Amino acid sequence: MKGKVTQAPKLLLTPGTRRPVSPAIVSLFAETRAALAQARRTGRATAAQVRAAIDELDDRYAQLELVEIDDVLVRQAGELTDSHGLRGYDAVHLAAARLILDADLVLVAGDRALLAAAESLGLAVAAID
């Protein structure tokens, strides 16, 4: 069958590490679970493959240190919408990235305005084409 999953997808976090992450990861968790459920429903993955992927996702998610959306972050995001012309959710991601203060942080996005704003604030960026 075209597009059939042959193994559980590998996630990008190195096992045993805890990295602070933005709200994007929280939504990514839900989106990944939805995609896995759809893969199972449509026959692109077996129940065992989906269970293995969910187990790995759960393991990796447990290693993350989440950035909570609080009043400070929301207000900073609001300022970023004005100063950089960002959409609301992009501004929340950027505000969260600024709070992390990790030298290894790389903001990965497909939105050019978000990438430009992050670069202008001194963050390392990587574009998804």
pLDDT per residue as tens digits for the range 82-102: 999 999 989 998 999 998 878
**Residue with more model confidence, 88 or 27:** 88
Domain ranges, ordered by start, for the chain: 20-66, 71-127
- Cβ burial of 93 (10 Å; 0-12, 13-18, 19+) is buried
* Measured distance CA(52)–CA(119) in Å, rounded: 37
pLDDT per residue as tens digits for the range 58-68: 998 888 777 88
pLDDT per residue as tens digits for the range 9-23: 333 444 455 555 555
DSSP annotation string for 33-74: HHHHHHHHHTTSS-HHHHHHHHHHHHHHHHT-EEPP--HHHH
Given this model, what pLDDT does residue 104 score?
86
Alpha carbons within 13 angstroms on the beta-carbon side of residue 61 total: 16
* Measured distance CA(49)–CA(39) in Å, rounded: 10
Residue 105 and residue 123 in contact, taking contact as beta carbons nearer than 8 Å = yes
pLDDT at 24 over 60: no
This model's pTM is above 0.85: no
* Measured distance CA(94)–CA(118) in Å, rounded: 7
Given this model, what pLDDT does residue 68 score?
82
